[in-house]
Amino acid sequence: MNRERHPVYWDPEIETLPRERLRALQEDRLRRTLAAAARSPFYRRLFREAGVAVEAIRGPEDLGRLPLTTKDHLRQGYPFGFLAVAREEAVRLHSSSGTTGRATVVLHSARDLETWAERMARCMYMTGARSSDVFQNMTGYGMFTGGLGFHYGSERLGMLTVPAGPGNSRRQVQFMQDFGTTVIHAIPSYAFRLLAVLEEMGIDPRRELNLKTAYLGAEPYSEETRRRVERELGVRVFNSYGLSEMSGPGVAFECPEQNGMHIWEDAFLVEVLDPKTLTPVAEGEEGELVLTTLDREAMPLIRYRTRDLTAVLPGPCPCGRTHRRIDRIKGRSDDMFIVKGVNVFPIQVETLLMGMPEVGRDYRIVLDREGDLDVMTVEVEVRREVFQGDVKSLNALRDKILAALKSEILFTPRVRLVEPGSLPRNEGKAVRVLDRRRGS
Protein backbone atom coordinates (compact mmCIF):
# COMPACT_ATOMS: atom_id res chain seq x y z
CA MET A 1 0.00 0.00 0.00
CA ASN A 2 3.08 2.22 -0.07
CA ARG A 3 2.13 4.65 -2.76
CA GLU A 4 4.78 7.12 -3.86
CA ARG A 5 4.67 10.11 -1.54
CA HIS A 6 5.19 13.71 -2.49
CA PRO A 7 8.51 14.80 -0.93
CA VAL A 8 7.01 17.80 0.88
CA TYR A 9 3.23 17.47 1.18
CA TRP A 10 1.34 14.52 2.60
CA ASP A 11 -1.73 15.51 0.63
CA PRO A 12 -0.37 17.80 -2.10
CA GLU A 13 -3.71 18.52 -3.73
CA ILE A 14 -5.53 19.58 -0.58
CA GLU A 15 -2.60 21.32 1.09
CA THR A 16 -1.94 23.58 -1.88
CA LEU A 17 -5.50 23.92 -3.17
CA PRO A 18 -5.96 27.41 -4.66
CA ARG A 19 -8.07 29.59 -2.36
CA GLU A 20 -11.05 29.82 -4.71
CA ARG A 21 -11.22 26.03 -5.02
CA LEU A 22 -10.77 25.68 -1.28
CA ARG A 23 -13.69 28.01 -0.86
CA ALA A 24 -15.86 25.98 -3.22
CA LEU A 25 -14.96 22.86 -1.28
CA GLN A 26 -15.90 24.59 1.94
CA GLU A 27 -19.26 25.71 0.61
CA ASP A 28 -20.09 22.23 -0.52
CA ARG A 29 -19.00 20.67 2.76
CA LEU A 30 -20.74 23.33 4.80
CA ARG A 31 -24.09 22.63 3.16
CA ARG A 32 -23.72 18.92 3.78
CA THR A 33 -22.60 19.49 7.34
CA LEU A 34 -25.58 21.70 8.07
CA ALA A 35 -27.99 19.18 6.61
CA ALA A 36 -26.37 16.48 8.74
CA ALA A 37 -26.37 18.63 11.88
CA ALA A 38 -30.06 19.33 11.44
CA ARG A 39 -30.64 15.61 11.88
CA SER A 40 -29.28 15.70 15.44
CA PRO A 41 -31.88 16.28 18.15
CA PHE A 42 -29.97 19.17 19.64
CA TYR A 43 -29.39 21.20 16.46
CA ARG A 44 -32.86 20.49 15.16
CA ARG A 45 -34.21 22.27 18.22
CA LEU A 46 -31.53 25.00 18.25
CA PHE A 47 -32.09 25.90 14.59
CA ARG A 48 -35.85 25.84 15.04
CA GLU A 49 -35.65 28.14 18.05
CA ALA A 50 -33.34 30.48 16.15
CA GLY A 51 -35.81 30.50 13.28
CA VAL A 52 -33.27 29.63 10.57
CA ALA A 53 -33.68 27.07 7.86
CA VAL A 54 -30.30 25.52 7.09
CA GLU A 55 -31.08 25.53 3.36
CA ALA A 56 -30.88 29.32 3.52
CA ILE A 57 -27.18 29.14 4.44
CA ARG A 58 -25.34 29.10 1.12
CA GLY A 59 -21.81 29.74 2.24
CA PRO A 60 -19.48 31.01 4.95
CA GLU A 61 -20.79 34.58 4.56
CA ASP A 62 -24.23 33.47 5.79
CA LEU A 63 -22.88 31.76 8.89
CA GLY A 64 -23.55 34.76 11.11
CA ARG A 65 -27.25 33.96 10.86
CA LEU A 66 -26.77 30.76 12.80
CA PRO A 67 -26.44 30.72 16.59
CA LEU A 68 -23.10 29.90 18.21
CA THR A 69 -22.63 26.55 19.89
CA THR A 70 -21.16 26.71 23.39
CA LYS A 71 -19.71 24.28 25.89
CA ASP A 72 -22.92 24.68 27.80
CA HIS A 73 -24.87 23.45 24.81
CA LEU A 74 -22.64 20.39 24.70
CA ARG A 75 -23.47 19.76 28.35
CA GLN A 76 -27.17 20.08 27.64
CA GLY A 77 -26.82 17.60 24.79
CA TYR A 78 -24.90 15.12 26.93
CA PRO A 79 -24.38 12.36 25.97
CA PHE A 80 -25.98 11.66 22.60
CA GLY A 81 -27.98 14.78 21.79
CA PHE A 82 -25.55 15.93 19.09
CA LEU A 83 -25.39 12.62 17.28
CA ALA A 84 -26.19 13.12 13.59
CA VAL A 85 -25.97 9.44 12.67
CA ALA A 86 -27.51 6.30 14.14
CA ARG A 87 -25.98 5.28 17.48
CA GLU A 88 -24.66 2.12 15.81
CA GLU A 89 -22.52 4.21 13.47
CA ALA A 90 -20.56 5.76 16.32
CA VAL A 91 -17.43 3.81 17.16
CA ARG A 92 -15.52 6.05 19.61
CA LEU A 93 -16.44 8.37 22.42
CA HIS A 94 -14.16 10.91 24.08
CA SER A 95 -15.29 12.70 27.18
CA SER A 96 -13.80 15.80 28.73
CA SER A 97 -13.65 15.79 32.49
CA GLY A 98 -15.37 19.12 32.90
CA THR A 99 -13.94 20.62 36.08
CA THR A 100 -17.12 22.61 36.46
CA GLY A 101 -20.55 21.22 35.77
CA ARG A 102 -21.35 18.19 33.72
CA ALA A 103 -18.93 16.50 31.37
CA THR A 104 -19.19 16.70 27.59
CA VAL A 105 -18.68 14.02 24.98
CA VAL A 106 -17.56 13.91 21.38
CA LEU A 107 -18.54 10.95 19.22
CA HIS A 108 -16.82 9.64 16.11
CA SER A 109 -17.80 7.38 13.26
CA ALA A 110 -15.26 5.08 11.65
CA ARG A 111 -14.83 7.59 8.85
CA ASP A 112 -14.30 10.40 11.36
CA LEU A 113 -11.41 8.47 12.89
CA GLU A 114 -9.99 7.93 9.42
CA THR A 115 -10.04 11.60 8.47
CA TRP A 116 -8.62 12.58 11.84
CA ALA A 117 -5.71 10.12 11.49
CA GLU A 118 -5.08 11.38 7.95
CA ARG A 119 -5.01 14.96 9.15
CA MET A 120 -2.60 14.11 11.95
CA ALA A 121 -0.33 12.35 9.46
CA ARG A 122 -0.52 15.47 7.31
CA CYS A 123 0.56 17.63 10.25
CA MET A 124 3.55 15.51 11.16
CA TYR A 125 4.67 14.87 7.58
CA MET A 126 4.63 18.65 7.13
CA THR A 127 7.33 18.97 9.80
CA GLY A 128 9.56 16.44 8.08
CA ALA A 129 8.53 13.26 9.92
CA ARG A 130 8.89 10.17 7.72
CA SER A 131 8.39 6.43 8.04
CA SER A 132 12.04 6.05 9.03
CA ASP A 133 11.34 7.99 12.24
CA VAL A 134 10.71 6.63 15.71
CA PHE A 135 7.89 8.48 17.41
CA GLN A 136 7.51 8.45 21.19
CA ASN A 137 4.14 9.69 22.32
CA MET A 138 4.50 11.08 25.82
CA THR A 139 0.96 12.28 26.45
CA GLY A 140 -1.95 10.62 28.14
CA TYR A 141 -3.93 7.96 26.33
CA GLY A 142 -7.56 7.49 27.19
CA MET A 143 -10.04 10.32 27.28
CA PHE A 144 -7.35 12.93 26.60
CA THR A 145 -7.43 13.19 22.82
CA GLY A 146 -3.75 14.08 22.43
CA GLY A 147 -2.66 10.49 23.00
CA LEU A 148 -4.84 8.59 20.55
CA GLY A 149 -4.90 11.46 18.05
CA PHE A 150 -1.13 11.49 17.59
CA HIS A 151 -0.91 7.74 17.90
CA TYR A 152 -3.10 6.93 14.95
CA GLY A 153 -1.63 9.75 12.88
CA SER A 154 1.87 8.48 13.50
CA GLU A 155 0.96 4.93 12.51
CA ARG A 156 -0.81 6.27 9.45
CA LEU A 157 2.34 8.12 8.46
CA GLY A 158 4.29 4.93 9.02
CA MET A 159 6.53 5.93 11.90
CA LEU A 160 7.56 3.32 14.41
CA THR A 161 5.21 4.38 17.19
CA VAL A 162 5.99 4.04 20.89
CA PRO A 163 2.86 4.63 23.00
CA ALA A 164 4.85 5.58 26.09
CA GLY A 165 2.20 7.76 27.73
CA PRO A 166 3.13 10.51 30.19
CA GLY A 167 5.22 10.24 33.34
CA ASN A 168 7.88 7.79 34.44
CA SER A 169 10.52 10.00 32.95
CA ARG A 170 13.52 7.78 33.58
CA ARG A 171 11.83 5.02 31.64
CA GLN A 172 11.02 7.53 28.87
CA VAL A 173 14.70 8.36 28.61
CA GLN A 174 15.58 4.68 28.54
CA PHE A 175 13.13 4.18 25.65
CA MET A 176 14.67 7.08 23.79
CA GLN A 177 18.11 5.58 24.16
CA ASP A 178 17.08 2.01 23.34
CA PHE A 179 14.79 2.74 20.41
CA GLY A 180 16.61 5.75 18.99
CA THR A 181 13.56 7.97 19.27
CA THR A 182 13.68 10.88 16.81
CA VAL A 183 10.28 12.52 17.28
CA ILE A 184 8.35 13.17 20.49
CA HIS A 185 5.01 14.63 21.47
CA ALA A 186 4.42 16.14 24.91
CA ILE A 187 2.69 18.97 26.65
CA PRO A 188 5.11 21.88 27.25
CA SER A 189 5.18 21.45 31.02
CA TYR A 190 6.15 17.82 30.56
CA ALA A 191 8.96 18.76 28.18
CA PHE A 192 10.41 20.85 31.00
CA ARG A 193 10.01 17.94 33.41
CA LEU A 194 11.86 15.72 30.98
CA LEU A 195 14.71 18.23 30.75
CA ALA A 196 15.00 18.25 34.53
CA VAL A 197 15.19 14.45 34.62
CA LEU A 198 17.80 14.35 31.86
CA GLU A 199 19.83 16.78 33.91
CA GLU A 200 19.49 14.58 37.01
CA MET A 201 20.59 11.56 35.00
CA GLY A 202 23.57 13.47 33.65
CA ILE A 203 22.50 12.96 30.04
CA ASP A 204 23.03 15.65 27.44
CA PRO A 205 20.16 15.09 25.02
CA ARG A 206 21.88 17.08 22.29
CA ARG A 207 24.75 14.64 22.14
CA GLU A 208 23.42 11.44 23.61
CA LEU A 209 19.95 11.15 22.10
CA ASN A 210 18.72 11.02 18.49
CA LEU A 211 15.91 13.50 18.97
CA LYS A 212 15.26 15.99 16.18
CA THR A 213 11.61 17.01 16.50
CA ALA A 214 9.18 17.75 19.32
CA TYR A 215 5.48 18.53 19.03
CA LEU A 216 4.29 20.65 21.92
CA GLY A 217 0.69 21.63 22.44
CA ALA A 218 -2.49 21.32 24.48
CA GLU A 219 -1.61 24.28 26.68
CA PRO A 220 -0.48 27.85 26.05
CA TYR A 221 3.26 28.46 25.96
CA SER A 222 5.40 31.32 24.83
CA GLU A 223 7.84 31.65 21.96
CA GLU A 224 10.60 31.91 24.59
CA THR A 225 9.58 28.54 26.00
CA ARG A 226 9.76 27.06 22.53
CA ARG A 227 13.27 28.40 21.95
CA ARG A 228 14.39 27.12 25.32
CA VAL A 229 13.18 23.59 24.71
CA GLU A 230 14.75 23.69 21.25
CA ARG A 231 18.07 24.79 22.66
CA GLU A 232 18.19 22.46 25.63
CA LEU A 233 16.76 19.36 24.02
CA GLY A 234 18.44 19.88 20.65
CA VAL A 235 15.23 19.63 18.61
CA ARG A 236 12.96 21.76 16.49
CA VAL A 237 9.70 22.39 18.29
CA PHE A 238 6.44 22.63 16.36
CA ASN A 239 3.31 24.06 17.89
CA SER A 240 0.25 21.82 17.81
CA TYR A 241 -3.26 23.08 18.43
CA GLY A 242 -6.52 21.29 18.89
CA LEU A 243 -9.38 20.69 21.27
CA SER A 244 -11.46 17.65 21.98
CA GLU A 245 -14.61 19.29 20.62
CA MET A 246 -12.84 19.50 17.24
CA SER A 247 -11.70 15.85 17.61
CA GLY A 248 -8.44 16.77 19.34
CA PRO A 249 -5.02 17.64 17.92
CA GLY A 250 -4.77 18.27 14.18
CA VAL A 251 -6.82 21.46 13.99
CA ALA A 252 -3.81 23.71 13.37
CA PHE A 253 -0.11 22.86 13.21
CA GLU A 254 3.14 24.61 12.42
CA CYS A 255 5.01 24.08 9.18
CA PRO A 256 8.81 24.34 8.83
CA GLU A 257 8.52 28.13 8.72
CA GLN A 258 7.56 28.04 12.43
CA ASN A 259 5.56 31.18 11.94
CA GLY A 260 1.95 30.53 12.88
CA MET A 261 -0.05 27.33 12.58
CA HIS A 262 -1.84 26.28 9.40
CA ILE A 263 -5.44 25.72 10.27
CA TRP A 264 -6.82 23.01 8.01
CA GLU A 265 -9.58 24.75 6.15
CA ASP A 266 -10.78 21.68 4.31
CA ALA A 267 -11.88 20.40 7.72
CA PHE A 268 -12.74 23.58 9.64
CA LEU A 269 -14.42 26.83 8.82
CA VAL A 270 -12.65 29.59 10.69
CA GLU A 271 -14.16 32.69 12.26
CA VAL A 272 -12.39 35.07 14.63
CA LEU A 273 -14.89 37.09 16.61
CA ASP A 274 -14.67 39.99 18.98
CA PRO A 275 -15.39 38.28 22.33
CA LYS A 276 -17.72 41.10 23.40
CA THR A 277 -19.69 41.97 20.28
CA LEU A 278 -19.35 38.52 18.65
CA THR A 279 -18.80 40.16 15.28
CA PRO A 280 -15.84 39.25 13.05
CA VAL A 281 -12.57 41.10 13.62
CA ALA A 282 -10.30 42.13 10.76
CA GLU A 283 -7.56 39.78 9.56
CA GLY A 284 -4.53 40.06 11.82
CA GLU A 285 -6.58 41.17 14.79
CA GLU A 286 -6.98 39.14 17.92
CA GLY A 287 -10.31 37.59 18.79
CA GLU A 288 -12.00 34.40 19.81
CA LEU A 289 -11.68 31.44 17.51
CA VAL A 290 -15.01 29.98 16.40
CA LEU A 291 -14.93 26.77 14.38
CA THR A 292 -17.35 24.77 12.27
CA THR A 293 -16.50 21.19 11.38
CA LEU A 294 -16.64 20.48 7.65
CA ASP A 295 -15.93 16.79 7.43
CA ARG A 296 -17.27 15.29 10.64
CA GLU A 297 -19.99 12.76 10.22
CA ALA A 298 -21.10 11.53 13.64
CA MET A 299 -21.09 14.82 15.46
CA PRO A 300 -20.81 17.97 13.38
CA LEU A 301 -20.44 21.16 15.38
CA ILE A 302 -21.56 24.50 14.00
CA ARG A 303 -19.89 27.74 15.06
CA TYR A 304 -18.34 26.28 18.19
CA ARG A 305 -16.97 28.87 20.60
CA THR A 306 -13.51 27.63 21.53
CA ARG A 307 -12.84 30.61 23.85
CA ASP A 308 -9.28 30.50 22.55
CA LEU A 309 -7.75 33.86 21.67
CA THR A 310 -5.72 34.17 18.50
CA ALA A 311 -5.54 36.03 15.18
CA VAL A 312 -5.51 34.94 11.56
CA LEU A 313 -2.10 35.91 10.17
CA PRO A 314 -2.26 37.90 6.96
CA GLY A 315 -0.50 36.86 3.79
CA PRO A 316 0.49 33.56 2.21
CA CYS A 317 3.03 31.20 3.78
CA PRO A 318 6.30 30.60 1.93
CA CYS A 319 5.82 26.84 2.39
CA GLY A 320 3.22 26.87 -0.40
CA ARG A 321 0.29 25.66 1.67
CA THR A 322 -2.80 27.72 0.99
CA HIS A 323 -4.55 27.14 4.31
CA ARG A 324 -4.36 30.23 6.45
CA ARG A 325 -2.29 30.45 9.62
CA ILE A 326 -3.31 31.35 13.12
CA ASP A 327 -1.08 32.94 15.69
CA ARG A 328 0.16 31.20 18.84
CA ILE A 329 -2.84 30.84 21.17
CA LYS A 330 -2.70 33.46 23.88
CA GLY A 331 -4.97 31.42 26.16
CA ARG A 332 -8.66 31.04 26.70
CA SER A 333 -10.67 34.09 27.47
CA ASP A 334 -11.23 32.50 30.91
CA ASP A 335 -7.45 32.28 31.58
CA MET A 336 -7.42 36.02 31.95
CA PHE A 337 -7.48 37.37 35.49
CA ILE A 338 -7.94 40.88 36.76
CA VAL A 339 -5.64 42.41 39.38
CA LYS A 340 -5.92 46.02 40.43
CA GLY A 341 -8.20 46.56 37.46
CA VAL A 342 -5.61 45.30 34.97
CA ASN A 343 -6.33 42.35 32.68
CA VAL A 344 -3.48 39.86 32.77
CA PHE A 345 -2.84 36.63 30.87
CA PRO A 346 -0.38 34.11 32.36
CA ILE A 347 1.38 33.98 28.98
CA GLN A 348 2.51 37.60 29.40
CA VAL A 349 4.33 36.65 32.58
CA GLU A 350 5.73 33.50 31.02
CA THR A 351 7.10 35.36 28.00
CA LEU A 352 9.13 37.64 30.25
CA LEU A 353 10.38 34.92 32.56
CA MET A 354 11.40 32.39 29.93
CA GLY A 355 13.42 35.04 28.14
CA MET A 356 15.73 35.30 31.18
CA PRO A 357 18.54 32.75 31.28
CA GLU A 358 18.71 32.76 35.11
CA VAL A 359 15.11 31.60 35.36
CA GLY A 360 14.40 27.89 35.76
CA ARG A 361 11.60 25.83 34.28
CA ASP A 362 8.54 26.62 36.30
CA TYR A 363 6.57 29.52 37.67
CA ARG A 364 3.26 30.17 39.34
CA ILE A 365 1.06 33.20 39.89
CA VAL A 366 -0.62 33.47 43.29
CA LEU A 367 -3.42 35.96 43.86
CA ASP A 368 -4.35 37.04 47.37
CA ARG A 369 -6.46 39.68 48.97
CA GLU A 370 -5.03 41.78 51.78
CA GLY A 371 -7.66 44.07 53.21
CA ASP A 372 -9.17 45.77 50.18
CA LEU A 373 -6.16 45.15 47.99
CA ASP A 374 -5.36 42.51 45.41
CA VAL A 375 -1.85 41.16 45.73
CA MET A 376 -0.19 39.26 42.93
CA THR A 377 2.87 37.18 43.74
CA VAL A 378 4.91 35.59 40.99
CA GLU A 379 6.79 32.56 42.25
CA VAL A 380 9.72 31.81 40.02
CA GLU A 381 11.99 28.78 40.03
CA VAL A 382 15.56 29.87 39.34
CA ARG A 383 18.46 27.83 38.08
CA ARG A 384 20.35 25.90 40.72
CA GLU A 385 23.63 27.81 40.23
CA VAL A 386 21.77 31.06 40.67
CA PHE A 387 19.81 29.83 43.67
CA GLN A 388 22.95 28.69 45.41
CA GLY A 389 24.84 31.83 44.44
CA ASP A 390 25.22 34.98 46.50
CA VAL A 391 22.36 37.05 47.86
CA LYS A 392 23.40 40.05 45.84
CA SER A 393 22.87 38.44 42.47
CA LEU A 394 19.59 36.91 43.66
CA ASN A 395 18.40 40.36 44.64
CA ALA A 396 19.54 41.74 41.31
CA LEU A 397 17.58 39.05 39.52
CA ARG A 398 14.49 39.80 41.57
CA ASP A 399 14.78 43.47 40.69
CA LYS A 400 15.18 42.64 37.03
CA ILE A 401 12.05 40.46 37.04
CA LEU A 402 10.13 43.13 38.94
CA ALA A 403 11.08 45.82 36.46
CA ALA A 404 10.17 43.66 33.48
CA LEU A 405 6.81 42.69 35.00
CA LYS A 406 6.04 46.24 35.93
CA SER A 407 6.55 47.51 32.42
CA GLU A 408 4.35 44.72 31.04
CA ILE A 409 1.43 44.77 33.47
CA LEU A 410 1.78 48.36 34.70
CA PHE A 411 1.76 47.63 38.42
CA THR A 412 4.38 46.14 40.69
CA PRO A 413 3.67 42.59 41.79
CA ARG A 414 5.64 40.63 44.38
CA VAL A 415 8.30 38.24 43.20
CA ARG A 416 9.45 35.20 45.15
CA LEU A 417 12.46 33.30 43.85
CA VAL A 418 12.36 29.61 44.72
CA GLU A 419 14.53 26.54 44.34
CA PRO A 420 14.28 24.51 41.13
CA GLY A 421 11.72 21.71 41.42
CA SER A 422 10.02 23.22 44.47
CA LEU A 423 6.76 24.46 42.94
CA PRO A 424 3.89 21.97 43.03
CA ARG A 425 3.56 19.93 39.86
CA ASN A 426 0.30 18.98 38.34
CA GLU A 427 -0.36 15.72 36.55
CA GLY A 428 -1.46 16.79 33.10
CA LYS A 429 -1.77 20.41 32.12
CA ALA A 430 0.03 23.01 34.22
CA VAL A 431 -1.99 25.15 36.60
CA ARG A 432 -0.47 28.61 36.32
CA VAL A 433 -2.70 30.67 38.55
CA LEU A 434 -3.68 30.05 42.15
CA ASP A 435 -6.42 32.49 43.04
CA ARG A 436 -6.93 32.66 46.80
CA ARG A 437 -8.97 35.85 46.72
CA ARG A 438 -12.41 34.30 46.80
CA GLY A 439 -14.18 33.92 50.10
CA SER A 440 -12.04 36.47 51.86
Sites of contact with ligand ADP (CB under 6 A): 96-97, 145, 217-220, 239-244, 306, 308, 329, 332
Rounded least distance, CB 96 to ligand ADP, Å: 5
Report the partner that residue 96 touches, choosing among Zn ion, ligand ADP, none (CB closer than 5 to 8 A by kind): ligand ADP
In the bound complex, what is the minimum distance in angstroms from residue 404's beta carbon to ligand ADP? 22
Q: HEC profile for the chain?
A: CCCCCCCCCCCHHHHCCCHHHHHHHHHHHHHHHHHHHCCCHHHHHHHHHHCCCHHHCCCHHHHHHCCCECHHHHHHCCCCCCCCCCHHHEEEEEEECCCCCCCEEEEEEHHHHHHHHHHHHHHHHHCCCCCCCEEEECCCCCCCHHHHHHHHHHHHHCCEEECCCCCCHHHHHHHHHHHCCCEEEECHHHHHHHHHHHHHHCCCHHHHCCCCEEEEECCCCCHHHHHHHHHHHCCEEEEEEEEHHHCEEEEEEECCCCCCEEECCCCEEEEEECCCCCCECCCCCCEEEEEEECCCCCCCCCCEEEEEEECEECCCCCCCCCCCEECCCCEEHHHCEEECCEEECHHHHHHHHHCCCCEEEEEEEEEEEECCEEEEEEEEEECHHHHCCCHHHHHHHHHHHHHHHHHHHCCCCEEEEECCCCCCCCCCCCCCEEECCCCC
User: What residues from 307 to 366 belong to the interface with Zn ion (CB under 5 A)?
Assistant: 317, 319, 321
Q: What is the total count of residues that contact Zn ion (CB under 5 A)?
A: 5
Least Å from the CB of residue 219 to Zn ion: 23
Residue 428 CB, nearest approach to ligand ADP (Å): 9
Among 211, 255, 289, 359, binds Zn ion (CB under 5 A): 255
In this complex, which beta carbon is closest to ligand ADP, that of residue 292 or of residue 413?
292
Q: What's the closest the beta carbon of residue 261 comes to Zn ion, in angstroms? A: 9
Window contacting Zn ion (CB under 5 A); options: 85-93, 172-180, 186-194, 252-260 = 252-260
Rounded least distance, CB 297 to ligand ADP, Å? 20
Q: Does 123 bind Zn ion (CB under 5 A)?
A: no
329 binds, among Zn ion, ligand ADP, none (CB under 5 to 8 A by kind): ligand ADP
Task: Give 259 or 348: the residue with its C-beta nearer to Zn ion.
Answer: 259
Out of ligand ADP, Zn ion, none, what residue 415 binds, judged by CB under 5 to 8 A for its kind, is none
Q: Which residue number, 219 or 295, has a Cβ lying nearer to ligand ADP?
A: 219
- In the complex with ligand ADP, the residue whose CB is nearer, 308 or 350, is 308
Q: Which does 241 bind (CB under 5 to 8 A by kind): Zn ion, ligand ADP, none?
A: ligand ADP
